[in-house]
Chain A
């Protein structure tokens, strides 16, 4: 994902801002990392360039 995706995504639970932590980046493309809600603290993984912003209760089942 590109960092400017943060302009349009938010925490699926409370719609607050997400904070980006980058683990791996290639040519401005964030390959892995974490998005953390600045309000509730829920953490959402970025894997293979795709942020998983499913609410936690759907993340396990799918």
Chain B
């Protein structure tokens, strides 16, 4: 028991890079034009933003979690504490990247800490994604696009349909299967 508690205690403040982060970073690096202006929403450890920056993009990272903002800044990525895209100007980004909290809520495992905020997207797993899709078009440049990581646990078709209702068409750029889920990076264009 104490082992588990200890392990949990290792990182309860900021979601650390995992397969999903790498998948999003790889897709972004392949997709982005050199010197693109990019926003990464929900940057967490900042590792995706850092890779995108190293590939030549002009990147800004945002997160609701102050510890995440600090980690991103320590990587040399400009960080803004924000609720999704709320404090960003209209039409300024060539691309917005987001690896959202996407797990459906499990009341039995509720934790009430920053890791919970990083992982769970409400009852359906889609609440944060949907709030993001409601506003993200506003901050995109005319040819701007979104790279969004989704999981079969969240419901890829449901996310694509919701994005469609907000004027986006979706292309799957790459996916990767794991024992309990398949992860897909969607490119959303208008």
Contact = CB atoms under 8 A, between A and B. Distances in A.
Interface of A: 1-2, 5, 7-12, 15, 48-55, 58, 62
Contact of B89 (A9, A51, A52): A9
What does DSSP make chain A's interface, helix, strand, loop or mixed? loop
A51 B70 CA distance: 11
A12 to B, nearest CB: 4
Could you say which interface size class chain B belongs to?
A: 20 to 34
Interface stretch (B13-21, B73-81, B122-130, B171-179): B73-81
Contacts of B27: none
Nearest to B39: A8
Name, among B78, B92, B93, the residue most crowded by chain A CB atoms within 10 Å (CB to CB).
Answer: B78
Contacts, number: 60
B22 interface: no
A62 B82 CA distance: 11
B170 interface: no
Nearest to B72: A50
A2 B92 CA distance: 17
Contacts of B79: 49-50
B164 interface: no
Contact of A9 (B37, B80, B83): B80
Contact of B78 (A5, A12, A15, A58): A5
Contacts of B83: 12, 54-55, 58
